[in-house]
């Protein structure tokens, strides 16, 4: 791979689940790209913006238009921004942090509570490998409700209609139509059909 990396080449790399190591073109690209994303999230969080202004800044962060039905209450941080994909009628409450290099897919009509963290990267356990990041996507189905201060870790898929209880740490896939909670999160009950 050449020393100059494109955004698409980086996305191809992380979307294939390949690690990002320091001193590689991917590592350099990830670090440099984060600086521009930090500038845009600082702009988003440092002044009042109406809903259209928020969506405009999110579109600049994502490098593509976001849905007109997306609602977000700042502050919001992401250290990459381009690999988050929003469905229609999504609401994201204030204080959320998305680490999206590995990819975050949010289905239609999802509610994301205050201070939710979605982290698609992990580090190597061995000290010599600790600076390497390992990506894996987070996927939320349609109609998912993520409660305040929940954490969803890399590689997790949340089924349609599921509820993540406040404060839960989700480390495994969540079935369709259940409530999960706890640390680590476990199924607490099924959601009755309406």
Q: Which single residue is written with the structure tokens 């440092």?
A: 46
- What's the CA angle centered on 39, arms 37 and 40, to 5 degrees? 65
What does the buried/exposed string (b/e) look like for 77-107 if buried means 16 or more CB atoms within 10 Å of the residue's CB?
bbbbbbbbbbbebbebbebbbbbbbbbbbbb
Find the DSSP H helices in the chain.
Answer: 7-15, 25-46, 51-62
Backbone phi and psi for residue 37, each to the nearest 5 degrees, phi listed first:
-65, -40
| Residues forming the active site | 123
CA atoms of 111 and 5, how far apart (whole Å): 35
Count H helices, E strands: the chain? 3, 18
Cα 77 off chain centre by = 10
């Amino acid at each position: 791979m050449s020393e100059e990396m494109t955004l698409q080449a980086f996305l191809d790399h992380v979307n294939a689940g390949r690690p990002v190591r320091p001193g590689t073109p991917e590592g350099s690209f990830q670090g440099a790209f984060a600086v521009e994303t930090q500038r845009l999230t600082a702009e988003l969080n440092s002044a009042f913006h109406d809903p259209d202004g928020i969506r405009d800044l999110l579109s600049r962060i994502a490098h593509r238009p976001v849905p007109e039905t997306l609602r977000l209450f700042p502050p919001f941080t992401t250290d990459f921004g381009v690999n988050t994909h929003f469905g229609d009628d999504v609401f994201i409450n204030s204080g959320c942090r998305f680490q999206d290099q590995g990819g975050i897919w949010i289905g239609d009509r999802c509610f994301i509570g205050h201070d939710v963290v979605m982290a698609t990267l992990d580090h190597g356990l061995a000290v010599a490998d600790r600076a390497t990041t390992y990506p894996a996507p987070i996927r939320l189905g349609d109609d998912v409700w993520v409660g305040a201060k929940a954490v969803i870790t890399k590689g997790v898929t949340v089924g349609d209609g599921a509820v993540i209880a406040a404060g839960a740490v989700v480390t495994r896939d969540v079935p369709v139509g259940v409530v999960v909670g706890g640390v680590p999160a476990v199924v607490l009950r099924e959601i009755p059909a309406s």
